[in-house]
Structure 1
Amino acid sequence: MSGSNLIGGRTVIQESVAQESLVRGPIILGLLLLLFLVIPRVAWSDRVNFEPPGKLIDVNGHKMHINCIGNKSPTIILDSGTGGFSLEWKDIQHSLSQYVRVCAYDRAGYGWSDMGPLPRTTKRITHELHTLLQNAGIHGPYIMVGHSFGGFTAQYFARNFNNEIAGIVLIDSSHEEQVYRLPENGKDVVRRSLHQDRSNMVTMYVLHEHFPKEEAAVAQQLMTRWTALLTWREEMANYALSSRELRDVHNKPLSGIPLVVLTRGKRVWPETEYGDAMEEAWTELQEELSYLSVHSTHIIAENSGHVIHLDEPELVVDAIHDVLDFVEKELDERGG
């Protein structure tokens, strides 16, 4: 996993990038055209040959995809890291749907959703999600589940729409301070990642080994759409702004909301002094996330890397059940 994975969480796919060149300016266009000649397996286009499993809902002029199964309250909202989309949650959705309604959606630009207006920041993304839910007739209370960068959305939503929230589950979530507190300044990591994307467009994409295999063909097509690449770059480029937006709503506390923080147990950085510092900083940031609520649990996913919901989906299901049990107990106590 590269540094950019921890910054933004583009982790449903694994990337193998050609050696960096120094091409600039017009030569970039040549590389873009070369894609269609040398890598036919990567279909950099916006053509989608697969029907969406859910509904396409108008959100301020662009369509967004949301897929809900089950019908009991509260409603679980599943949000991916950068580059990810709704199909990665398929197994978790089916595991929970007999108990509650479970909705996986595609942020604007990913999956079946149209590209959204710029900039792509947490504030805009969260308000789009809220509008999507309202326009789709999917009302709270919600349990927000966010992986990596999707954890920003979960936190911002819970702070901004507090009266609609029943609980939160954060899956190796991004932390608003990580761009400043990781040993290598996060903004430099983002800049380097974006530069590599410009000068090394010849990229091979391989699905995570635990991605639902029956969805491999559609996932490969959707993850290599131009809009997906552009959206990923936009989210990464505006990561520091998203961090500031989340800090700006800290006056709206989460203290009474049940929270489960799931943190990867496997090391992802090399066995070096620098790698040790990165691992230590990530562990500290994850621990701090568990302080957001007085009703929190912090769980280490010992056998998982960053993509816990694919490595150990049963832990995510159990974490959501823990929040559901807390909510049910509170309702019983109020009723009694």
Structure 2
Amino acid sequence: MKAFFKWIKRIGLGLVALIILLLIAGFIFERISRNDTKKITPDGNFAEVDNHRLHYYKKGNGGPTVVFETAFDPAGHLQWYHIQQQLPVSYTSFSYDRSGILWSERGENPKSGKKMAEELHLLLEKSNVPKPYILVGHSFGGTLVRFFVNQYPQDVAGIILVDSQCPDDKKYLSPELFEMVNQGLPSGFLKFANTFGVARLMFKGMFPAEKQYKYQNSIMPALLYKSADAVLEEQDHMSSIKKEAAKIKSFGTIPLLILTASDPKRYDSSIKDEELKLEMINAWDKMQKDFLLLSTDSKQVMAPNSGHYINQDNPKVVEKAINDMVDKILHQK
């Protein structure tokens, strides 16, 4: 028996030593990888905003300017990159990285909806893109759009919500489902994983394995370490941002398009309980329909065969919505 416990002790010590070696190797790998990212040339430009630099990617010339607001996502402007390649250059398309994400510096401003809207507005002014703006917000980006419209309605000519998050979703969900969908990312684990090189492996295939996403799949893991802290910080402020956004209940007469995912299997991988899954589908559909009340000029478009990331699952729907909104605005002049 004594020999058995001695053997167990040796195995335990061996496993501890192996874990320590793996952590050291991961830490070194992460530091080398971060140093290599200095060789990556940013695909866009920079502008100074409140004493820090924000990165943006612009295509096209002339107005209006289509402004993309990304979801709660470390990929920043990369989520719109493939769509921008398909849009006409007769008008301007503009995506950017929020403070601390990808190539944008974090700065010192708080991660509040109001301040993020102010940063975006100043960035647009500094980059000299033509007004008016068409705001395109996906998921959490749809919540952030509310703050921009509320603060700068005179600059906004159109709004497109892409399967937008509902800031007052608690009204639509049972307590059990609300807790499930709002539990967030495991911050402690992800910070640990980010330090020891695991996070970049976890997010290696974040975009589909298709040719049009080759660039995004090469950049995303390399720069994830820069985005992770900022995204987790946004998560820390998510509840207060949603609470403030829920108070913004009207866009007035600004034209509004609501793109809604309609694949009935879109929650199969995330919700296993059939009753909760059905509740989520019905509640999400109700939230999306209620967005029609935000504007006196609103329309909903269902995105077939699409999950939450319509910009990846069915980008043509997003492209068409943008082109339709641009035509609508140009014909109003």
* Rounded Cα–Cα distance in structure 1 between residues aligned with 2:135 and 2:24: 38
Distance (Å, rounded) in 1 between the aligned partners of 2:281 and 2:108? 35
Structure 1 residues not aligned, in runs of 5+: 1-29, 332-336
Aligned partners of 1:304, 1:188: CA distance in 2, in Å? 19
Range 45-54 or range 233-242, more displaced:
45-54
**CA deviations over 1:104-139 (Å, ceiling 9, x no partner):** 111111121011335322222111101111122224
Paired with 1:235 and 1:58, the residues of 2 have a C-alpha distance of: 21
Contact 1:126 1:156 in 2 (8 A): yes
In structure 1, the residue matched to 2:49 is 59
Given the superposition, is the C-alpha separation of residues 172 and 128 from structure 1 closer, same or farther in structure 2, using an over 3 Å criterion?
A: same
Q: Give the deviation of 1:38 after TM superposition.
A: 7.7
1:186–1:108 CA distance, 2 compared to 1 (3 A) = farther
Between Structure 1 and Structure 2, the one with more helix by share is: 2
Give 3-state SS (helix, strand or coil) of 2:182's partner: helix
Counterpart of 1:194 in structure 2 is 187
What are the within-5 Å matches in structure 2 for residues 97-116 of structure 1? 97-116=88-107
Aligned to 2:307: 305
SS at match of 1:176: coil
- 2:291 aligned with 1:289: yes
Cα deviations by residue, 1:161-201 (Å, 9 ceiling, x for unpaired) = 00001101111111111255433335983366435535766
Q: TM-score, normalised by structure 2?
A: 0.80
| Letter of the structure 2 residue corresponding to residue 146 of structure 1 | G
Displacement of 1:256 = 0.7
Instruction: Give the equivalent residue in structure 1 for 2:240.
Output: 241
SS of the counterpart of 1:51? coil
Matching residue within 264, 267, 276 for 2:261: 264
Q: How large is the Cα RMSD of the aligned pairs?
A: 2.7
**Match for residue 157 of structure 1?**
148
Structure with bigger gyration radius: 2
The answer to whether 1:84 aligns with 2:83 is no
C-alpha distance in 1 between matches for 2:312 and 2:181: 29
TM-fit CA distance, 1:36: 5.1
State the partner residue of 1:143: 134
- How many residues matched? 297
Q: Are 2:122 and 1:122 equivalent residues in the alignment?
A: no
Matched, 1:220 2:211: no
* 2:63 and 2:130 in contact (8 A); partners too: no
Q: Percent identity?
A: 28
In 2, Cα distance between equivalents of 1:43 and 1:301: 42
Q: Give me the TM-score of the superposition, normalised by structure 1.
A: 0.80
